[in-house]
Amino acid sequence: MTTKMASTINHQVEYKKDTKKGYNLPIFPLQLFLLPDGITRLRIFEPRYLKMISIASKGEGFIICQSEINSLEISDHHWGSWVEVINFNQGDDGVLEVDVKCKSLVKLLSVRKDEDMLHHGNVIDFSHWSVTKAEQGIDVLSNALIKVFESNKILNDIYLEKFMDNPTWVVARWLEILPMSKSSKTQFVELFSFEQAQQFVQDVIYQE
């Protein structure tokens, strides 16, 4: 991290925790599907989201939310990926590049907007099959995923550790990178088990 970059995000703000309502964290609205242990690289340039990164780097992270955010219409369908900043740097064009890792999935309980037009939400985390253990053999999926990583430099670089022998890790990464509709991926957030997710990914891979 460069000195210039550190000063760019040096806002005097921090997250807050409400023991009754979970965590209150900044929200980044983005059409990105990210499951626990998933990593992605973001490019941040808007002032409100530079503020968000400052909050995240000093506290508990932030939420990537695919849903349309409306503080008056929060429902059980509103969920997000709770991420933490694991690395950041300055791109060749001067834009802040931030690597984040998903630590959990969360449900949004309420949302507000601050004076800088940055959304904040009260959230609670919930468990997901991607952090469980499975014994199924996944050699075909693992070998195919290795080839994907080898052909994508950014993807290969941001994952310093790759757990290709872990079935749930492999299936979760496939769900993130496959070019599928939002609705197709979202069904595996809660309603479906690992076995169903694995079968879905296998069906897609075998068709290609």
Examine the domain organization and report whether 10 and 98 are in the same domain.
yes
- State the CB neighbour count (10 A cutoff) for residue 122: 21
Residue 15 pLDDT greater than 80, yes or no: no
Question: Is residue 83 located within the same domain as residue 179?
Answer: no
Of 102, 126, 150, the one marking the end of a domain is 126
Q: What is the DSSP letter of 37?
A: T
First to last CA, the chain: 40
Residue range 181-198: mean pLDDT, rounded: 85
As a whole number, the mean pLDDT across the chain is 85
Confidence of residue 82 (pLDDT cuts 50, 70, 90): very high
Least trusted range by pLDDT, from 93-102, 165-174, 192-201: 192-201
45 has pLDDT over 50: yes
Confidence of residue 16 (pLDDT cuts 50, 70, 90): very low
Given CA atoms 158, 128, 59, 109 in this order, what sign does their dihedral have?
positive
Distance CA 176, CA 36 (A): 11
> What is the domain extent for residue 146?
130-207
Q: Let me know whether 28 and 82 are in one domain.
A: yes
Residues 116 and 182 in one domain: no
Comparing 1 with 146, the larger pLDDT belongs to: 146
In the predicted structure, residue 7 carries a pLDDT above the cut 80? no
Instruction: Taking residues 79-83, report their average pLDDT.
Output: 95
- Which CATH number fits the domain that encloses residue 184? 1.20.58
Lowest mean pLDDT among 20-24, 136-140, 157-161, 167-171: 20-24
Question: pLDDT tens digits, residue range 107-149?
Answer: 999 899 999 999 999 999 999 998 887 777 788 999 999 999 9
208 class by beta-carbon count within 10 Å (0-12 exposed, 13-18 middle, 19+ buried): exposed
Cβ distance 40 to 100 under 8 Å?
A: yes
Of 126, 144, 173, the residue at which a domain comes to its end is 126
Among 109, 126, 143, residue at a domain's last position: 126
Q: What angle do CA 92, 93, 99 make, to 5 degrees?
A: 65
pLDDT exceeds 80 at position 191: no
On whether both 104 and 192 belong to a single domain, the answer is no
Residues 71 and 138 reside in one and the same domain: no
